[in-house]
Each structure stands twice: as structure tokens, then as C-alpha cells.
Structure 1
Amino acid sequence: MDSMSPKKANRELLDPPLRGETESSLLHEALDWFKSIIFAVVVVFLLHHFIFHLSTVKGTSMQPTLEDGEWLFINKIVRITGSVQRGEVVVIQEPTGTDKAHPFLVKRVVAVAGDEISVRSGKLYVNGEEVKETYTDAVIEDGRFEPYTVAKGQIFVMGDNRHRNASYDSRSFGSVPLTDIEGKAQWIVWPLGKWRSL
């Protein structure tokens, strides 16, 4: 019977694992990485779809509150709760669904379900009372808007830019179903110098 020297035994203990074991270990590590990436993608998708996303302002219909090119943080939880208040800025689906270049609009909620809204002498009235709109810089120049009652499950939106023909909003396409709301604009996040809540 051959005897194994201590030096030879020590050398064998220090030998690297067999090739098959190395490949198995690498495969296991690759699978772990793959599962981690899939998990991260799913989390990002869920956050983007149900919680928040960023949106870019296009156009001038929300001046002076919002400027073209600004980035907004959009809270999408409102899609689940359906909780929208007068005065809030929301992102809605373009009502006709035909404007592929601008599939979403940023507008301010000026009336909610059950409210009667009208425009007289350049001023906004909700339920017979004039609304003090500190976020605008002009009277409403588009003329009179006869009393209109917002239906259940809907909102009435307008752009903050009240100059003539400056905003395509509920005065043109009527009230908007709550289901068409993409989210609530809560902060301007870019440019950094304009970071603020809405």
C-alpha cells in the first residue's frame, strides 16, 4: 500500500475545486443576479404605474404657474383613492384620444362633482361665489361661460393661463372622468432652482 506524504496531502487540500463545481457556482451566481434584476424591474414598474412618475411640461397653458420644459413629480396614488380637491394640479389623458403628440394634459381642478361653475366678466364662479385665483396673472379673456354643473365622478379643469385661446381645457371638452386622471402634480423638480411644491 502506497503511503501519502504530508506534503502531497497538503497540496491536494489546496487544489482548486473541480471544473464542474466552478461552473455550477458561476451559474448559481448568475441566476441570483438575474433574479435580483427581475425583482428590481418589477418594483420600478409598479412604482411607475401605481405610485409616481416624472412628467415634462409642454406648452404654455399653465403659465405663470408652470413653464414649458419643467419637470413635475406626479403622485399617482390619486388613481387608486380618487381623492381630488379644487385647486390641485393634475395630469389627465387628452380627452379626445386623437392627439398622439400630446397624450396628456396638465391642468388645474377648478370644480368637482356637484359644483356649478360659470365665468362672468372675466372671473371664475363656483356655486355662485367668485374664486380668488392667486395663481393667475390675467382675467379670463375667452368670454362668458354659462353655468355648468359637474357630474358625479368627474372634475372640471382649466389652465392657469387665462389669456385668449391660451388653454385647451374643460371649457372646450367638458368635465373629465376621475378615471382619466393620471396623477396629481405635487412638485416642480427641474430645474433645481425652481424646486417647489404646487
Structure 2
Amino acid sequence: MRDQILYAMYSQAEKLDWELLSNSKKTEQYRQWVDDHEVGQAMLRYGAEKDVRVWLKDVAMKEYARAQEGIGSYVRYIPNRFKGTEEIVSAALDSSWTVKPDSVVIKPNRCTAIKGSFSRLVVWGRPSSFKDLFWAALTATKGGGDEAVIVMTTRDGENISDGERELQKKIGARGDFEVVYLNRQMISNPDYIPLSS
């Protein structure tokens, strides 16, 4: 049942372009999922509505955002996602850098990039998360001069104004962090496992 619920939700979320929805539209969609016979109504046989709402928001859709990054155990449920952490590292530094194995961490998304004996912290997220990204870079490097790169990611339909970019770069410079920008495209998810009939 869990698999069917996730496939149904993630398929609908992709059609709605979930990450670009306003908070009010997301709230309305949560209501619709509670009423949906494939999602909320199926879950209500096993728990209270308040518990269903919490699971939809705090588990399923938090994991959806991670799955779009190619991170976590829910990746297999979405047909399309971003290229992954290597794309972020290439944008932050260049293609000669690679992701250190087992270094990807969430909340916010970050990893260690390596090139020979050199390493750098790379943190990334959407424009609204800049403050969290800066803080993660600052605390991870402990202000000790270790270099970090903050990657602001956007999709078609999202823009960061020139004024906002200038402010982010100035703030980044205070921590000795470079701020770079990456507009991303979805690809077919190589980890997708279609729901078997």
C-alpha cells in the first residue's frame, strides 16, 4: 500500500510542478490527497486524519524533494529527477572535481568535493534557502578559512534578481565562500522502478 501511495502522490506532484507551487496551493493539494481514494482514504483505514496529514507533509513530500536530488530511499518512486550531486560539484568547481564517497548530507544538502589531495565543501539549494546554506557552510568550516562553495539552484520558471545575487555574493564573501548559480533540468530517473501491476 505504501508504494502505491507514493507512486500516486509523486506522479501528481510532478504534474503540478510541486516545488514551484505557492504554499496555499500546496495546502490545497494536501487536502485533496487526504480525500483521494488512492492516498489519504487508503491510509485512513489505519490511522487518524491528523496522522495522515503529518505523514503526507513531513515524510512523503520531504522525501520527494530529496528524491528529486537523487538522495534517499524514495528515489525509485519518481520518474524524473535532477542529474545529481556530480552536476552540483561541476557547477561549483569544475568537472575535474568528484564527490567524495559517502559525503552527501541533507538539511541542507551538502557534500565534500575532492580533487587529488584537495577537498572543498559544496552546499546547495533553492534561492529561499540561502541563509541556511550560508550557516551550514560557516559551521562546517568553523570559520577556519576552509573553502566552501554555495550553489544556488533554480529551474526554468525561477529567477534570482540581480540585486539578490549581488547581496548573496557579498554575504558569501564574508565567510570566504564563493556563491555560484545553476539552472537545472530534469532527466529520466535511472533509479526509477515502475509500479508493477
Structure with a larger share of its residues in helix: 2
Give the structure-1-normalised TM-score. 0.24
Structure with a larger share of its residues in strand: 1
Per chain length, whose mean CA-contact separation is higher, i.e. which structure has more relative contact order (CA < 8 Å, sep 6+)?
A: 1
